[in-house]
A and B are shown apart, each in its own frame.
Chain A
Amino acid sequence: MIKIMLGIALTLFSVAIAISLYRIIKGPSIPDRVIAMDMIGVNLISGIAAVSILLKTKAYLEVILILGILAFISTISLSRFIERGVIIERKRSG
C-alpha cells in the first residue's frame, strides 16, 4: 500500500518536472526560465525524499540539503545577473 502511494507520488513529481521543463524551453523571458528552474529544484528535493523512503535508506537525506542550497544560490546569482549584469559587485573606490 505504502509502496503504491510512494510510486504514484514519484510519478506526479516527475510530471511536474516535465511541465516545468516545457516552461524552461518555451518561456518568453529569462526570469520565466529561472522560476521554472527553481521549481525543478524544489520538485527534485521532494522526489529524492520519496526515493529515500522507497529504497529504505537514510543515505539520500544529505542530498536534500545540498540540492536546497544549490537551488537557492543559483537562483540568487541568476537574479543578480539579470538585474545588474554582474554577479559579484565591486564598490568603486573614492
Chain B
Amino acid sequence: MNVNAVGEFVGAALILIGSVISVISAIGIIRFPDVYTRAHAATKSSTLAVLLTLVGTFLYIWFSDAFISVRVILGILFVFITAPVSGHLIIRAAYRSNVKLADSTIEDELKPVLQEKGREDKDEEAQEVVQEQKQGQEQPQGSV
C-alpha cells in the first residue's frame, strides 16, 4: 500500500464520516420540537458534514490525480462562510414573524429586549411626527 492509496482511503473515509453526520443531522431535523431547535441540527452538524465531505473530496483528488483543485477549496470556503449566515437570517425571520416556541421552552430572553426596543422606536417616531408638524405649521407663515 503506497502513499497514494493511503491518501485515497483517508479521503473516502472522510466522505463516509461526513455522510454519517449528515444522516444524524437529518434525524435531528425530524425529531426536535420547534423551528429554533431544528436550526441547530440543520446548520451546525450539516455544515460539519459538508465540510468533511468536501475535504475528503479534495484529499482524494489530490492523491489520485496529483491535482490541487482550487474549485473545491472555493466551495469549502463558500459553504463555511455562508451556512451560519443563512441559518442566522432564517431564524431571525422566524422569530420576527412570531413562530411559536416549543411548549417545553423555559425562558425567552429576547422578548423583553425587543419590546423595550419597540417602545423606544415608537417614542422616536412620535417625536419626529411632532417636529414635522411644527415645521409644517411654520413653513406657510414663512412663505406668506
Contacts and interface: CB of A to CB of B under 8 A. Distances in A.
A binds B: yes
B78 to A, nearest CB: 5
Interface SS, B side: helix
B10 to A, nearest CB: 11
B12 A2 contact: yes
A5 B42 contact: no
A87 B47 CA distance: 26
Interface string B34-45: 010011001100
Contacts of A15: 23, 26
A80 B72 CA distance: 29
B69 A9 contact: no
Contact of A31 (B27, B35, B46, B79): B35
A46 B19 contact: yes
Interface string B13-56: 10110111011011101100001001100110011011001101
B26 A39 contact: yes
Interface in A1-58: 1-2, 5-6, 8-10, 12-13, 15-16, 19-20, 22-23, 29-32, 34-36, 38-39, 42-43, 45-46, 49-50, 52-53, 58
B26 A20 contact: yes
Given A46-B54, A75-B86, A16 B26 contact: yes
Given A58-B69, A65-B75, 16 more contacts: A5-B13, A15-B26, A16-B26, A19-B30, A23-B29, A31-B94, A32-B38, A38-B87, A45-B54, A45-B79, A46-B15, A49-B53, A52-B57, A61-B69, A65-B74, A68-B78
Interface of A: 1-2, 5-6, 8-10, 12-13, 15-16, 19-20, 22-23, 29-32, 34-36, 38-39, 42-43, 45-46, 49-50, 52-53, 58, 61-62, 64-65, 68-69, 71-72, 75-76, 78-80, 82-83
